[in-house]
């Protein structure tokens, strides 16, 4: 819109200057003496020059005043890149503490004894009065012999043959016919009983030990040991 108005003004000024220029070139036909004609021509020429100068100044002023000013284009700020939030770590599941369990309360149970028969050393006891072979005896390697013990019932109860046995406990197995033997008769209090077991000496020289016992059910009445010395 400003450009159209400015163009129209410039066009009008050009037309005005052209008309004035044409007027300055026209000369009046003298009708009288040269003196009377020269004065109006000089005045008109000065007037025309003044008008042209003013018109030119007006055009320049209009051009200067109405000249479009360059509107500065401000740079648009480029938005700074926004930081992409880092992925947050998923918290590990926490262990939910279990409520403390109460310890069981100990309940006192009164102890009651169950009566059962226990043989005492006074009721069932024995004394070894003889052992063969003696610890001072020697046997040949592989020699046949009998292990012999004479025992006396020194307790207060008799030994019944139905529940009294003589058995191997530990050590060298000299026996040749088994590890357990029944009593062949009862043994009264104060009486003696001879235990005989068929045995065989080892084939290598040396001193050997064996342990036997007289038992009544699961009770040991007495222990009988045997030492055998073997020579070549």
Q: Is residue 77 part of a domain?
A: no
The CATH number that applies at residue 153 is 2.60.40.10
Asked if residues 195 and 128 have their Cβ atoms less than 8 Å apart, the reply is: no
190 within a domain of the structure (yes/no): yes
Q: Quick check: 4 pLDDT over 80?
A: no
Q: How many domains does the chain have?
A: 2
Residue 72 lies in a domain: no
For the segment 63-90, what is each residue's pLDDT rounded down to a tens digit? Answer: 555 545 555 555 566 656 566 666 566 6
Contact in structure between 222 and 126 (CB atoms under 8 Å) = yes
Residue 102 lies in a domain: no
Q: Tell me if 119 is assigned to some domain.
A: no
Does some domain include residue 47? Answer: yes
- Residue 94 resides in a domain: no
Percent of the chain with pLDDT over 70: 49
Mean pLDDT, all residues of the chain: 74
Average pLDDT for 157-163: 93
Q: Which domain holds residue 162?
A: 126-231
Tell me, yes or no, whether 55 and 152 share the same domain. no
- Integer CA distances (angstroms), 195 to 130, 145, 157, 212, in order: 10, 14, 19, 11
pLDDT bucket at 205, cuts 50 / 70 / 90: very high
């Amino acid at each position: 819109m400003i450009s159209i108005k400015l163009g129209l003004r410039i066009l009008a000024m050009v037309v005005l200057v052209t008309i004035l220029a044409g007027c300055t070139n026209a000369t009046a036909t003298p009708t009288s003496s040269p003196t009377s004609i020269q004065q109006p021509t000089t005045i008109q020429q000065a007037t025309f020059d003044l008008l042209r100068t003013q018109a030119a100044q007006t055009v320049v002023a209009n051009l200067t005043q109405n000249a479009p000013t360059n509107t500065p284009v401000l740079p648009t700020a480029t938005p700074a890149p926004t930081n992409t939030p880092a992925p947050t770590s998923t918290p590990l599941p926490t262990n939910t503490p279990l409520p403390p369990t109460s310890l069981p309360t100990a309940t006192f149970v009164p102890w009651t004894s169950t009566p059962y028969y226990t043989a005492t050393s006074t009721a069932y006891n024995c004394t070894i009065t003889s052992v063969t072979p003696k610890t001072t005896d020697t046997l040949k390697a592989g020699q046949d012999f009998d292990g012999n013990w004479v025992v006396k019932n020194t307790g207060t109860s008799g030994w019944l043959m139905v529940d009294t046995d003589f058995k191997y406990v530990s050590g060298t197995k000299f026996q040749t016919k088994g590890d357990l033997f029944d009593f062949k008769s009862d043994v009264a209090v104060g009486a003696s009983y001879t235990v005989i077991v068929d045995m065989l000496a080892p084939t290598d020289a040396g001193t050997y030990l064996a342990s036997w016992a007289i038992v009544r059910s699961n009770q040991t009445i007495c222990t009988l040991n045997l030492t055998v010395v073997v020579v070549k």
